[in-house]
Amino acid sequence: MQDLKDKETEINFRNVLKTPIRWFGIVYPYFFTVFVLFGLTFIHRLDIIHTNETPAALKDTTAVVEDLTPVKGEVSAGIDLATIMKPGEKQIQKGKELYVANCSVCHGEKGNGDGPGGVALQPKPRNYHSKDGWKNGNSFSQIFKTLQEGIPKTGMTSYDFLSVEDRLNIIHYLKTLAHEIPALTDAELKDMDQTYSLSAGRKVPSQIPVSMAVVKLDEESKPESDSLKKIIEIIHNNSSVPGYMLFNKVTGNKVKAISTLMKSQSWKAGTNEFLNFVSVNRQSGFNADVLLLSKEDLSILYNYLTTTIKLN
């Protein structure tokens, strides 16, 4: 009976509240554990906290890197503006052939916008017999703009891969196909000529992908690299001649000095031109001693570079 009474006294929380030191003994292990865990986490991330940086993200190797599209350069001759105002049968026939090959699949053979290629397109291809819904307008110049630039967010892409004359011929044929296209005016033609340089012609530069350009640059630099190696080899094989002694004295970087000289012809005109060249090009591989050479030593060095090394 006495034992039971003692046990009941030990678990009496009222008595526990009267002695707070007993609560400290209960919660202390928990506080200690939390403190240790926090310390370990802080030490583990100390490098990130110190540099105020986050770990580098892994590179997405599945991302597709787009390169430039190859474009063949062209020089288009100027167009006689009179032939645009009054096209001949040959131009209209050419326009028909181009329309059938490039446009009829979507716009239909008669220009009703009912071609098989336009069934799934939204919005639907242009019906040239309708006055409504022309996004750029239905004038001659506005249709030319559409062929030049295309219409974003539609199936109408740019047809700038066709020559200016071919695009004009397509419009000439469209005018015979659909009478909703108004006649071209002198003022409109003048504006077109100013905007697109129809009578002056234009030059379109070629364009190649960056990856192809890197390969070509590497191929072009290879002969120069091979020549540089041969010249350096000649230098080492002729280290006993006076010119080499001077060259060794006035250069801090022999390879860079030879490479710099190989890229220019101006210094070969004479000793003064050579001295001016290395003076202006401070990163040429030559040091300041080249400016202190006597006329005789300068002449020896110059002859050594132009004959022994055979740069000319």
Q: What is the pLDDT of residues 125-179, one digit of tens each?
A: 989 988 888 888 999 999 999 999 999 888 898 888 888 999 999 999 999 988 7
φ, ψ of residue 120 to 5 degrees: the values are -90, 0
Cα–Cα dist 254/14, whole Å: 94
Question: Quick check: 262 pLDDT over 50?
Answer: yes
8 Å CB contact between 117 and 99: no
8 Å CB contact between 23 and 16: yes
User: What is the per-residue pLDDT for 1?
Assistant: 47
Tally of CB atoms within 10 A around 125: 22
Closest C-alpha among 134, 169, 140 to residue 154 = 134
Mean pLDDT of 297-308: 85
Q: Is the pTM of the predicted complex or chain greater than 0.75?
A: no
Cα–Cα dist 224/196, whole Å: 43
Reported as a single tens digit per residue, the pLDDT across 88-135 is 999 999 999 999 999 999 999 999 989 988 888 888 898 998 888 888
User: What is the per-residue pLDDT for 233?
Assistant: 76
User: What is the per-residue pLDDT for 190?
Assistant: 93
Question: Quick check: 312 pLDDT over 50?
Answer: no
